[in-house]
């Protein structure tokens, strides 16, 4: 990449996505974060305070994406509600899920719960 894009959409609402949104917005990029939930597992009052502060510089969208289309050096993001967003770049921050299937955790005497908050 030779230069920073003017606009970016970040797909994902976890800690990494929100951190990128914060940093990139301070570099004067137009930042949109797209996710169903934001900062899962974070204290609700802390999360709400942080997101409210960030809304001054970052647009948060909670809608389902139906299509991503490259068009003339732009990316068009189409949403289920009919909205279309045009950005210069998309950054995927989808997160991780534990890969524990091969550990035979069912043999442990402890109850193990694996999942997202």
Contact predicate 17/10, CB 8 Å: yes
Q: List, in order, residues 6 or more apart from 30 with CB less than 8 Å away.
A: 6, 7, 8, 59, 87
Instruction: Give CA–CA dist 5/92, Å, rounded.
Output: 15
CA 38 – CA 41 distance, rounded (Å): 9
Which architecture characterizes domain 7-107 according to CATH? 3-Layer(bba) Sandwich (3.50)
The first and second tokens of residue 47, run together, are 């999360």
Classify the C-alpha dihedral 56-79-93-45 as positive or negative: positive
Q: What is the mean pLDDT of residues 20-40?
A: 95
pTM: 0.80
Q: Where are the domains of the chain?
A: 7-107
Q: What is the pLDDT of residue 17?
A: 96
Give the C-alpha separation, 28 to 31, whole Å.
Answer: 9
What's the whole-number average pLDDT of the chain? 90
- Is residue 34 within 8 Å of residue 77, measured between CB atoms? yes
Confidence of residue 116 (pLDDT cuts 50, 70, 90): low
């Amino acid at each position: 990449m030779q230069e920073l894009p003017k606009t970016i959409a970040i797909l994902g609402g976890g800690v990494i996505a929100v951190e990128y949104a914060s940093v990139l917005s301070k570099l004067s990029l137009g930042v949109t974060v797209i996710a169903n939930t934001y900062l899962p597992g974070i204290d609700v009052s802390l999360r709400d305070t942080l997101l409210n502060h960030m809304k001054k510089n970052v647009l948060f969208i909670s809608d389902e994406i139906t299509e991503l289309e490259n068009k003339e050096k732009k990316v068009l993001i189409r949403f289920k509600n009919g909205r279309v967003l045009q950005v210069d770049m998309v950054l995927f921050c989808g997160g991780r899920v534990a890969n524990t299937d091969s550990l035979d955790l069912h043999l442990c005497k402890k109850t193990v719960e694996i999942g997202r908050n």
